[in-house]
Structure 1
Amino acid sequence: MQTTNIECFLRNDNILNKINKQFISLNFDEVRHNNPYLIKIFEQLIEAMRRQSPLFDKTFQRIIWAGSYYKKTRVGEPEEYDINFVINLPFKERDIEFISDCPGFIEIRTPWRERNMSYNTLNLTKEAQKELNSFIDNESYLNQDKFRAWMEGILSRVAKETSKSDRIILLNGVPITRIKTGPAFTLKIQFEVSGKLIDIDVVPVLTFSTCNPPPRCSEMSILKDYLRGSRYWSAVPKPLNNSRTQFNDELYRYWRLCFYEIEKDILDRHGRAKPIIRLLKKLRDTQKWNIASYYIETLCLNELDIFLNSNKSDTSLFFTMIQKLREAFRQGRIRYFWDKDLNLLEQIKSSTMKCMFGSIDRIINKIEKTIADDKYAIAKVILNTSELNALISSIDQSSESEPEPDFGSINNIHFKLFSRL
């Protein structure tokens, strides 16, 4: 069945709304309890880190609670968090240069030393000066490898101070286990009341004003809409391992671009996109597809007009985005929203790409063939068997609870109406 022929079966959002409410929406009671607890822990952790590093004490600005949890695009319980430690190095804007010869990444150079300026102009202690020098190379480029190592070293000293071991013990007695996970490090914390163990991925980042944008950006007009200081973009110390691209400089000089705060604003303004993103992630989890959450969010960011201007139902939009996902794997490309020259799928093998396309194509064909006779056609691909049974049972029960129409009363009304004519 062609897409144009099934639109009439995609107009009703009742089933999709029930799926969202019953299986996808976050438990807001947990959210209310978790957030204050985490804030209290990180306030204590930051104070401990300040004591261990004069440079951190001088340059730490704030925490950005990042990731899909705070974008409200997360699926499942709030057991994983992403947190950025914002570091504001003591350089003026004129003393920072951005260079970009690689899509989605940037090099940061601080030529202030070449201008015969002393560390005294930065208002740093000798200890802080030494720390800063540790991640600036001999050509004045910031070294993201050593920047991460600096942050990890601070946490190691906090652990030794608080517990004489690899774990961090804060004033409230909560043990925090540190695990190295690639460019980030993960903190494992157990909640007092529920006893749940949660993972928090922590990444130190450098932030810059939208008035001082990266040299290459496909959405520069969006950045220019912000007043100075109202929003920031970030440079993230994520290693660059793209073997298909030629680099002019050492890999450690490349920092990944990140526009988390602005992406959150965009999704807030295009509110219809968020439930569709959550449904796509739920579909991915059920089908066991290996697709990063950020790829799904970017796919929707690239189709903002669909969510802003369409008068279609959410069910129709969801089906449209499944088709967009199929097309992405057919072409082997999802464009990075902020730099169209970067393909987020470029690291995926062609055999994997072909397999993903086939899997999505079969699901679309199945929906097209069955939706006319089966109102649960879409639910059957989003939910697993137990969830589907629970959904059908809840819909059947709600139908049974609805009062039967009183045909006698209806007939009496009709009789009275006609008797007046």
Structure 2
Amino acid sequence: MDTAGSRGARARRGTRPAAPRNRGVEKGSEKGAARSPSRVHVAGESPSGAATPRAPQTDGPPGRGSRPARRAPAAQELPASGAEALPAPRSRAPAARAPAAPRSVAAVPDGAVAAPARRLPPAADALRLREVLSRLSLAREDVSEAATLVNLVVLHLVQAIRSKDSCFSSIERRSAGSYYEQVKISEPNEFDIMLVMPVARIQLDEADDTGAFYYVSFKRNPKEKGWLKFLEEDGKLSAFKMLQALRDIIKQEVKNIKDVEVTVARKKVGCPAITLQIKNPPSEISVDIILTLEAQQSWPLSTQGGLKIEQWLGTKVRRDMRFRSLYLVAKQNKNEKVLRGNTWRLSFSHIEKDMIKNHGNSKTCCESDGPKCCRKRCLKLLKYLLEQLKMKYPKELEKFCSYHVKTAFLHSCVMWPNDSDWHLGDLDHCFQQCLGFFVDCLQKSQLTHFFIPQYNLLSLEDKAKHHFLSRKICQELNNGFPVFHENYSAP
């Protein structure tokens, strides 16, 4: 690795070191396998039909002293109207120089054939990503108007729900989702609101082998006798019965909301949310109401090996997070032999929100007077890429959701834990790094839940769909993301 003095000398001379020659990587070489995936990309597909980008190292985060290799410099950009100006990458090499020769492929997914490496992206690629981000920025006045309407409706409903059923008398509102994580894209037209109910002395029994779904029962008879109507014969607390009672109250109460037109959307099979549609001409706002239990008790054993953020956010932060309340949302388990609707799924949305908002390895990252990183920008681009592809291929990609890319993003933050790995001027490099990890997960049909290591978010039954999405992502990557500039209407 160059010393600080040699780097300064090169900068004064206006030169940079010669590009390394292509080298074959010996099998099992750790040095080759640890290289950043964003330096090499796919030009074709494997015989099995899956695209074969270089996969990132997944055995653990790199050492604090290590950094991914830097990309060729991008040209200085003039910000779009209303957009934040982003600095150019820190490389001092003259922009007119030809890009360095790409390195040879160091690792490919199991069973795949290495494809020729793609050239390093030109400066225009970085400029296009910044232009896309400027279009995704939400107008402040639109956000304010939408949030005011949502707050008005939710406040009315919470007061009514508390008074209509004694079991719901202690519910509290909690905000969740991309809007409150400050990574919402395009329009402020979707909000997630958790209605949280405190419960005491509950017992959790695993409903399957994922470690995510549980049956809930009371260790002692609850003091509030109204809970009895929500219990099954075997004493299990029925998520279906509670969700139905809450839906009935909301359906009646929306009729009493003045000055705002609110309707309750039809129930979707397997969806844990009660969806409200709020008219806001010329469009409408969708609000997902999510029934949530809050228990002040230890997290289940299935979470023991998850939340591996020690190198990223620190051991103390991890310990403090694991002492926080346990959330369970009313969610049907599809693997249940008899579908009774009495299962609950662990939820960590409150923890995810805090990690994304306070994402720095150093405690000053992205604060008003602190250094800026591109983590949130990468997450926005990942969400937008999946959203656009889902609109283009609705049937093929119907089983994918933003939580898949959000989980891949959190794993990427663990793999590259330092703020210096996410320098604001290296947006294109970091975005492709995240994409490389996500594509590798798709090709292997293995995306581990961030908090529950035994839970795979990609069902092995859907391997063909996973490979389809990986191919489409690689096509976009190798062609400068044309889907970012195509317009589709929601299916």
TM (norm. structure 1) is: 0.72
Q: Which residue of 2 aligns with 1:141?
A: 236
> Residues 26 and 348 of structure 1: is their aligned pair in 2 closer, same or farther, counting only changes over 3 Å?
farther
Aligned residues: 337
- Give the stretch that moved more between structures: 299-308 or 258-267: 299-308
Q: Which residue of 1 aligns with 2:217?
A: 109
> Residues 308 and 314 of structure 1: is their aligned pair in 2 closer, same or farther, counting only changes over 3 Å?
farther
Residue 458 (structure 2) pairs with residue 350 (structure 1): no
Q: Which residue of 2 aligns with 1:409?
A: none
Deviations 1:202-259 (A, max 9, x none): 11110124x522232033676532496xx4331011101037xxx7x97534211111
Among 380, 386, 400, the residue aligned to 1:284 = 386
SS of the aligned residue for 1:78 comes to coil
Q: Distance in 2 between matches of 1:302 and 1:263?
A: 12
> Residues 270 and 357 of structure 1: is their aligned pair in 2 closer, same or farther, counting only changes over 3 Å?
same
Q: Distance in 1 between matches of 2:168 and 2:38?
A: 56
Deviation at 1:173, TM superposition (A): 3.5
Residue 418 (structure 2) pairs with residue 331 (structure 1): no
Residue 177 (structure 2) pairs with residue 67 (structure 1): yes
Residue 355 (structure 2) pairs with residue 260 (structure 1): no
Flag structure 1 segments of 5+ consecutive residues without an equivalent. Answer: 114-118, 160-166, 368-376, 387-421
Deviation at 1:14, TM superposition (A): 4.4
Deviation at 1:196, TM superposition (A): 3.2
> Residues 205 and 223 of structure 1: is their aligned pair in 2 closer, same or farther, counting only changes over 3 Å?
farther
SS of the aligned residue for 1:338 comes to coil
Q: Is the 8 A contact 1:232 1:259 kept in 2?
A: no
Report the residue type matching 1:176 in the other structure.
V
> RMSD of aligned C-alpha atoms?
2.9
Q: Distance in 2 between matches of 1:16 and 1:293?
A: 19
TM (norm. structure 2) is: 0.62
Q: Which residue of 1 aligns with 2:260?
A: 174
Q: Distance in 2 between matches of 1:385 and 1:200?
A: 24
SS of the aligned residue for 1:63 comes to strand
> Residues 53 and 5 of structure 1: is their aligned pair in 2 closer, same or farther, counting only changes over 3 Å?
closer
Deviation at 1:349, TM superposition (A): 2.0
Higher strand proportion (structure 1 or 2): 1
> Residues 198 and 347 of structure 1: is their aligned pair in 2 closer, same or farther, counting only changes over 3 Å?
farther
What aligned pairs does 1:198-213 form with structure 2 within 5 A after superposition? 198-209=285-296, 212-213=298-299
Among 81, 95, 98, the residue aligned to 2:204 = 98
Percent identity between the aligned chains? 21
Higher helix proportion (structure 1 or 2): 1
> Residues 337 and 47 of structure 1: is their aligned pair in 2 closer, same or farther, counting only changes over 3 Å?
same
Q: Is the 8 A contact 1:276 1:318 kept in 2?
A: yes
Report the residue type matching 2:292 in the other structure.
V
Flag structure 2 segments of 5+ consecutive residues without an equivalent. Answer: 1-21, 23-36, 42-70, 75-88, 90-122, 308-314, 361-373
Q: Distance in 2 between matches of 1:381 and 1:9?
A: 24
Q: Is the 8 A contact 1:16 1:315 kept in 2?
A: yes
What aligned pairs does 1:19-418 form with structure 2 within 5 A after superposition? 19-21=132-134, 23-57=135-169, 59-60=170-171, 62-89=172-199, 91=200, 95-100=201-206, 101-103=208-210, 104-113=212-221, 122=223, 124=224, 129=225, 131-156=226-251, 158-159=252-253, 168-170=255-257, 172-179=258-265, 180-182=267-269, 183-191=272-280, 194-209=281-296, 212-217=298-303, 218-219=305-306, 224-226=319-321, 231-242=324-335, 252-270=341-359, 272-287=374-389, 288=392, 290=397, 291-309=400-418, 310=421, 313-346=426-459, 349-364=462-477, 366-367=478-479, 377-378=480-481, 380-384=482-486
> Residues 224 and 305 of structure 1: is their aligned pair in 2 closer, same or farther, counting only changes over 3 Å?
closer
Q: Distance in 2 between matches of 1:3 and 1:307?
A: 13
SS of the aligned residue for 1:266 comes to helix
Q: Is the 8 A contact 2:38 2:430 kept in 1?
A: no
Q: Distance in 1 between matches of 2:151 and 2:167?
A: 23
